[in-house]
Amino acid sequence: MTTPATLKTWVHTLRHEAQDIISVDLRPVTGTALPAFTPGAHIDLHLPGDLVRSYSLCNEAGATDRYVVGVLRDRASRGGSRAVHEQLRIGQSLTISAPRNHFPLDESAAHSVLVAGGIGITPLLCMACRLSQLGRSYEVLYFARSRGAAAFTQVLQSLGARVHWHFDDEAGGAPDLKALLAQRKAEGTHFYACGPTPMLDAFEASCAELGLAHAHLERFSAKPVADADDAQTHYRVELRKSGLTFEVQAGQTLHEKLIELKVDVSWSCEEGICGSCETRVLEGQVDHRDMVLTPAEQAANKAMMVCVSGCKSERLVLDL
Ligand code: FES
């Protein structure tokens, strides 16, 4: 049976988890079950005001009776986190997407280090639950501005997780991430990070400098990716299913053209980090500018994020 693109749920619980963070517990409509998910997965919430936003699932993987997401009220919100905090009500129905996972957990690793910055704890909490359940070796590096801003600390404690806590206000500044990673460098260890952009940039740079072979990260906000040197400024696009053909001219983007032509694409972040707009590529060479596909997936050229990516060939044929 194929999973439908969207699912009907209702808001069962809204819970204060930490300063500016609430959890939203969603249940399926009576008599149905939600698709099982794996650690690291996220879903899109279709919020009031026609907003679609992605959030990581943080409850126990495999659950089909509920999905839980944690949402930080973002001061720089484009409307998504404000809609969750101010407009969701218990009992309200909410359309969501089926889970997607671009941040999978390797359950066979000898040891896993989960590096969480603030609300970045959400996908890692789900991983910690799973690793505890499997009896695998893991630890959590949890960084937050203060104790009051750190969500789900009690869940981690109830799992018996080994946690290295770092609160900026108590420590007098940010952690020395490279030193913490270096102390944990060992054959077969996998490192996972989720959190704010500066932390993830430092994680990426530190892992490269330390030669950590198994480093994985998930971004909540995009890092700008420049166009490739051989990117086309003008190219032709064919949409195989809808039969549309159009040109992307210099100064335009594929994203703008698809919106202008009202092509049915599932938009969410529109900045190449959530995977919602992933589209099959049938012909042509993509200039990948997303944070979702791995370098190997980008090189395979079988799919693209049409919200940010461009084209290196004169023609692009998409399965839309
Ligand atoms: S809409 Fe999120 S990756 Fe394109």
Average pLDDT over residues 180-191: 97
DSSP state of 119: G
Q: Is 70 in the pocket of ligand 1 (CB under 6 A)?
A: no
Q: Is 269 in the pocket of ligand 1 (CB under 6 A)?
A: yes
Two tokens, residue 43: 């879903």
Going by alpha carbons, the residue nearest to atom 3 of ligand 1 is: 272
Whole-angstrom distance, CA of residue 22 vs CA of residue 15? 5
Residue 268 alpha carbon to ligand 1 centre in Å: 5
Residue 52 alpha carbon to ligand 1 centre in Å: 10
Residue 277 alpha carbon to ligand 1 centre in Å: 5
Task: Give residue 5's pLDDT.
Answer: 78
pLDDT band at 1 (very low <50, low <70, confident <90, very high): very low
Q: Is 309 in the pocket of ligand 1 (CB under 6 A)?
A: no
Q: What φ, ψ does residue 47 adopt, rounded to 5°?
A: -95, 165
For residue range 17-44, list pLDDT tens digits in order. 999 999 999 999 988 999 999 999 999 9
Pocket test for ligand 1, best of 52, 100, 103, 270 (most atoms within 8 A of CB): 270
Residue 105 alpha carbon to ligand 1 centre in Å: 21
- Environment class of residue 218 by beta-carbon count within 10 Å: exposed (0-12), middle (13-18) or buried (19+)? buried
The number of beta carbons lying within 10 Å of the beta carbon of residue 95 is 13
Whole-angstrom distance, CA of residue 262 vs CA of residue 242? 11
Q: What φ, ψ does residue 303 adopt, rounded to 5°?
A: -145, 160
Q: Is 80 exceeded by the pLDDT of residue 76?
A: no
DSSP state of 136: -
Task: Give residue 3's pLDDT.
Answer: 55
Q: Which atom of ligand 1 is nearest to the CA of 266?
A: 1
Q: Is 50 exceeded by the pLDDT of residue 126?
A: yes
pTM of the model: 0.89
Q: Is 307 in the pocket of ligand 1 (CB under 6 A)?
A: yes
Two tokens, residue 117: 């910055």
Average pLDDT over residues 102-110: 96
Q: Is 248 in the pocket of ligand 1 (CB under 6 A)?
A: no
Summary mean pLDDT of the chain: 95
Whole-angstrom distance, CA of residue 211 vs CA of residue 299? 22
Q: Is 61 in the pocket of ligand 1 (CB under 6 A)?
A: no
